[in-house]
Amino acid sequence: MASVLTVNALNTRFSTPEGAVSAVNDVTFSVDARESVGVVGESGSGKSQVFMSALGLLAKNGQAHGSVQYAGDEMLGMPETQLNRIRGVHIGMIFQDPMTSLNPYLRVVRQMTEVLVEHKGSTEQDARAKSLQALESVGIPDPAKRLDQYPYELSGGMRQRVMIAMALLCEPQLLIADEPTTALDVTVQAQILELLADLKRHHDMAIVLITHDLGVVAGLCDRVLVMYAGRIVEQGTVRDVFYDPRHPYTLGLLESMPRVDAAGDEALATIQGQPPNLQRLPRGCAFSERCPLAWERCDEAPPPLRELASGRYSACYRDAPR
């Protein structure tokens, strides 16, 4: 299958007054056309920064090295004008907080039509008609009225629907959803997930879902990447990773998930300790301090991401043949 996004040896650093922060460390993966990939990790695991690096959306103090290709074109270091022909056209992105991700000073219609005017050269009229359609297709009630409202007049769920409609205007090959439900009420979360599942069925595009919630991934994704301290620690199909986790961190995540089928009196497991300081990552495995299975070798060098079976990766010495 052709891949839409190929990330190779990506490293992202932020320079801060307190020293350099390694947010993404040696990350390699690819996203195939029409597949949906979940990227799972705690906040600070670098899961969002991977895609910010790809789209040139890093904060000013951030610097990405390595390679990110869209359909064979290298995106890192690509001139802004060229990059703009990919962002918003071939790759759509929606963000965690729909409250702040829409411009509060512009009407919804303005924020939507400008995409079509910029990329497709549409007239303002055509763009308006298409925006109306797009709002309809994401299930916004009374879309004609919403079009002329300001974001603050919409509810959180509606704003996220606007964001999604906006990202889909140019029919992208890839939709990146960065924690699309985290900032929403639980009932609204379910509706948005439903909408994303619906999009996945009816659109010809790949979806990357960035989340800290394994449950979300299970319902929506084909494949999953687990990230910890800026590294991919496990990768595989959702089925494999959920039923046969190979990395102790993934195992910990799964065990700390509340399960409907668990016996009522079972205490929920948690992972002990704190994620490491990204400014001073340990020499060895970043998880070793919290890992119940750690041994001396873990503190020598970070375990490489090893292919266990086709498409199945884990970065743990416990899995490696001695």
Partner 1 sequence: MLAYALRRLLVAVPTLFIIVTIAFFMIRIAPGGPFDRERAIPPEIEKNILAAYDLDLPLWQQYLKYVGGVLQGDFGPSYKYRDFTVLDLIASGLPASLQLGGIAIVLAVLFGITAGTFAALSQNSRYDYLIMAGAMTGIAIPNFVMAPLLTLVFGVYLSLLPVAGWGDGALANKILPVIALALPQIAYIARLTRGSMIETLSQNYVRTARAKGLRERIVIVRHALRGALLPVVSYLGPATAQIITGSVVIETIFDFPGIGRHFVQGALNRDYTVVMGVMIFYATLIILFNLLVDLAYALLDPKVKYEQR
Partner 2 sequence: MANAGNTTGLVLDAAGMVQGRSLWADARRRLMRNKAAVASMIILSVIALLAVFAPWLSPHAYDEVYWERIQAPPDFAAAHWFGTDGNGRDMFVRTLYGARVSLMVGILATTVSLLIGVTWGAVAGFAGGRTDNLMMRFVDIMYSLPFMFFVILLMVIFGRNIFMIFIALGAVEWLTMARIVRGQTLSIKHKEFIEAAHASGVSGARIVTRHIIPNALGPVIVYVTLTVPQVILVESFISFLGLGVQEPLTSWGVLISEGARQMETAPWMLVFPATFLAATLFCLNFIGDGLRDALDPHDR
* Residue 30, beta-bridge partner list: 6
Q: Does 103 bind partner 2 (CB under 8 A)?
A: no
Query: Taking each helix axis from N to C terminus, what angle separates 156-168 and 124-137, rounded to the nearest 10 degrees?
Result: 120
Q: Does 226 bind partner 1 (CB under 8 A)?
A: no
Q: Does 282 bind partner 2 (CB under 8 A)?
A: no
Encoded tokens for 175: 């939709």
Cα separation, 320 vs 306, whole angstroms: 8
Q: Does 21 bind partner 2 (CB under 8 A)?
A: yes
Q: Does 308 bind partner 1 (CB under 8 A)?
A: no
3-state secondary structure (DSSP) of residue 256? coil
Using the rule CB under 8 A, give the single segment among 152-160, 232-240, 272-280, 312-320 that binds partner 2.
Answer: 272-280
Neighbours of 204 (CB within 10 A): 9
Binding-site size, partner 2 (CB under 8 A)? 27
Q: Does 295 bind partner 1 (CB under 8 A)?
A: no
Q: Does 104 bind partner 2 (CB under 8 A)?
A: no
Q: Single out the residue of 57, 53, 4 nearest to residue 30, CA to CA.
A: 4
* Residue ranges in 242-271 that form contacts with partner 2 under rule CB under 8 A: none
Cα separation, 102 vs 213, whole angstroms: 24
Residue from 17, 104, 292, 321 touching partner 1 (CB under 8 A): that is: 104
| Partner interacting with residue 16 (select from partner 2, partner 1, none; CB below 5-8 Å by kind) | partner 2
C-alpha distances in Å from residue 198, one per residue of 146, 182, 222: 22, 19, 15
Q: Single out the residue of 150, 91, 84 nearest to residue 118, CA to CA.
A: 84
Encoded tokens for 111: 């924020």
| Partner interacting with residue 213 (select from partner 2, partner 1, none; CB below 5-8 Å by kind) | none
Cα separation, 132 vs 104, whole angstroms: 19
Q: Does 97 bind partner 1 (CB under 8 A)?
A: yes
Residue from 3, 28, 69, 84 touching partner 1 (CB under 8 A): that is: 84
Q: Does 174 bind partner 2 (CB under 8 A)?
A: no
3-state secondary structure (DSSP) of residue 23? strand
Closest CB 150 distance from partner 1, rounded Å: 5
Would you put residue 88 in left (φ > 0), alpha (ψ -120 to 50) or beta? left
Q: Does 163 bind partner 1 (CB under 8 A)?
A: yes
Q: Residue 17 or 121: which CB sits closer to partner 2? A: 17
Q: Residue 170 or 183: which CB sits closer to partner 2? A: 183
Cα separation, 239 vs 218, whole angstroms: 8
Determine contact, residues 305/232, Cβ cutoff 8 Å.
yes
* Residue ranges in 42-101 that form contacts with partner 2 under rule CB under 8 A: 43-44, 48-49, 52, 58-59, 61-62, 95-97, 100
Closest CB 125 distance from partner 2, rounded Å: 35
Site residues (vs partner 1, CB under 8 A): 55-57, 59-60, 80-81, 83-89, 92-93, 95, 97, 100-106, 114-115, 118-119, 150, 152-153, 163, 166
